[in-house]
Amino acid sequence: MNTISVLTLRLAEAIGLYMIVIGMGGLTAPQRWRAMMDDLERSPGLVMALGFPVFAVGAALVLIHSIWRDPLSIIVSTIGYAALIEGALLLAVPGPLIRIGRWSLNFTRAWAIVSIVLGILLFLAGLTGRATVIA
């Protein structure tokens, strides 16, 4: 896959690896995801402690990579904005996100498989892609 930036390729690899690892965790120990949601529902401090790094990672991605020129850069940029928005919501109004998270536990294995597949695709796109000038 051609993209405009080497940074896009490296971020795609890193995000892809993250998605693979998180998906593997969901497949091998789905009860941990349920326990995590239980903890988040009981502890506003934990929600704040989680919201800050999610916001910070999203903000960092947005600051260094807001490129909208090709499919891979759009995907990476969208992930950055999604993390920024998710972190902001966790800090400001966490209730709706926690409810969505609780509901999504009904599909833990499906989410895990989707995460692994998309992670592999993103990782491979970053690993095998080329940074070239796109006309």
Output 133 or 41, whichever has higher pLDDT: 41
CA atoms within 13 A on the CB side of 74: 6
Q: Is 135's pLDDT higher than 60?
A: no
pLDDT higher than 90, residue 1: no
* Higher pLDDT, residue 132 or 64: 64
Query: Can you tell me the distance from the alpha carbon of 16 to that of 1, in angstroms, rounded to the nearest whole number?
Result: 15
What is the per-residue pLDDT for 124?
98
Q: What local confidence, expressed as pLDDT, does residue 134 receive?
A: 60
Specify the pLDDT at position 112: 97
- pLDDT number for residue 16: 98
Note the pLDDT tens digit of each residue in 71-123: 999 999 999 999 999 999 999 999 999 999 999 999 999 999 999 999 999 99
Tokens of 12: 């795609």
Residue 98, C-beta contacts closer than 8 angstroms, at least 6 positions apart = 37, 40, 41, 47
Contacts of 91 (CB under 8 A, 6+ apart): 48, 51, 52, 55
- pLDDT value at position 133? 73
List the structure tokens of 17: 């690896």
Tens digits of per-residue pLDDT, 43-63?
999 999 999 999 999 999 999
